[in-house]
Amino acid sequence: MSKKVSALDMPDVPMGQLPEHLNRQRTRVTCNADAPIHTDAVHYSGAYSLMGVDNSMGLEKFSKNFKVEIVRLSEDEIEFDMIGIDASLANAFRRILIAEIPTMAIEKVLMVNNTSLIADEVLSHRLGLIPLDADPRLFEYLSENDVPNERNTIVYKLEVSCKKDSPRNTVKTSQLKWLPNGSELEMATLDKSAKVKSYTSFSCSQDSLPEISKKPLGVKHDDIIIAKLGPGQAIELEAHAVKGIGKVHAKWSPVASAWYRMLPEVVLLTEVKGQDAEKLVNKCPVNVFDIEDLGHGDKKAVVANPRACTLCRECIRGVNEELVELGRVKHHFIFTIESTGALSPEELFIEAVKILEEKCDRLLSELS
């Protein structure tokens, strides 16, 4: 007859400390050759109370354990580690970055002339996806009842043509011209005797506003192809950009991609030497392993770059399954943000934190 043994009956495990196998299940995802195990996080605060371990989450504990470490930073991309958070919080940042940080994008296209092969609707859609070099924090949202003005609308003009008996003309985003004074097209009013008016009502030029005049409100990339014109074809239009968020349309999403993954953990269970070491190194397609020279012709395999592991599992298939252990650290995330250009990647993350903070404040006010 078997006897049920509790954690309190284990003399080798002191109070306040988990056994190694339980601690690993709590903090790691073990990636076997067939499928990962221990993927669920333990959220119940009293899960390990019999062992004297507090599993509750509090602000003081979170502040002590949470860290952000920047690994790589460029003009359009940032890679950083978020340590000490749950997957739900990391995913909240990802969703906010994709869908809730506002940007400026072309929403309305006034087509004057289009004799190219691209239909008006397709051309308008292409213009809407062009990343604009305009800080959305300097502009207001344009609602249905608002009049387009210098604070909520940016106007661009495109007027290109290809002369007869000329080679094909490639139209690029560099040919989109910013109109700081607003629309140059006129719109007839209902009263035929009244004067005509513009599609926008700018009270002043946008380049005279101190916060906007620092740099032209152009496009982020000048070499994006919009269309190709044949001899005798022409495009003339005005494009009006407004402020919006990605959950309304993807053209307002400020990131090309925002994604995360758990930190890989690769452990050699035994020493792998000689020909076995070379086979192990050659099996990995991303150079996680390397050869260390021991002298006298001896060599062994070492884990040189575990961060590069893509979890292809090639190293644990076949005879190597008992030699290598693959895992993921549950509360350590490698986060990557690729900006489309309106805001720098580090500014995007700061804006995501502000939006999450506003959501928490609204929830607390509703609960109170």
Give the separation between CA 257 and CA 76, rounded to whole angstroms: 11
pLDDT the model gives residue 317: 81
- In one-letter notation, the amino acid at residue 214 is K
pLDDT of 197 over the 80 cut: no
DSSP letters, 221-273, are: -TT-EEEEE-TT-EEEEEEEEEEE-TTT-GGG-SEEEEEEEEEEEEEESS--B
Alpha helices in 28-147 (DSSP H): 59-65, 87-99, 120-128
pLDDT the model gives residue 5: 40
Query: Which DSSP symbol is given to 173?
Result: G
Q: Which residue has the tokens 């292809």?
A: 312
| 96 and 155 share one domain | no
Model confidence pLDDT, tens digit, residues 38-96: 888 888 888 888 888 888 888 888 889 899 999 999 999 999 999 999 999 999 999 99
| 109 and 97 share one domain | no
The CATH number given to whatever domain includes residue 171 is: 2.170.120.12
pLDDT of 190 over the 50 cut: no
The share of the chain scoring above pLDDT 90, in percent, equals 68
Model confidence pLDDT, tens digit, residues 254-276: 999 999 999 999 999 999 998 88
State how far the alpha carbon of 84 is from the alpha carbons of 69, 160, 208, 261, 330, in Å.
12, 54, 47, 14, 9
How many domains in the chain?
2
Task: Give the three-class secondary structure for 161.
Answer: strand
| 307 and 368 share one domain | yes
The CATH number given to whatever domain includes residue 80 is: 3.30.1360.10
State how far the alpha carbon of 199 is from the alpha carbons of 175, 196, 348, in Å.
22, 10, 32
| 274 and 226 share one domain | no
Q: How many residues does the chain have?
A: 368
Query: Which DSSP symbol is given to 211?
Result: T
pLDDT of 4 over the 60 cut: no
Residue 91 belongs to a domain: yes
Last residue of a domain, one of 221, 251, 281: 251
Residue 173 belongs to a domain: yes
- Choice among 95-109, 176-190, 347-361 with the minimum mean pLDDT: 176-190
pLDDT of 333 over the 90 cut: yes
Q: Which residues pair with 105 in a beta bridge?
A: 242
| 276 and 206 share one domain | no
Last residue of a domain, one of 205, 227, 251: 251
| 237 and 267 share one domain | no
60 is written with which tokens? 């003081």
State the residue range of the domain holding 217. 103-251
Do 53 and 16 form a contact (C-beta atoms < 8 A)?
Answer: yes
Last residue of a domain, one of 251, 270, 286: 251
Element containing residue 205 per DSSP (H, E): none
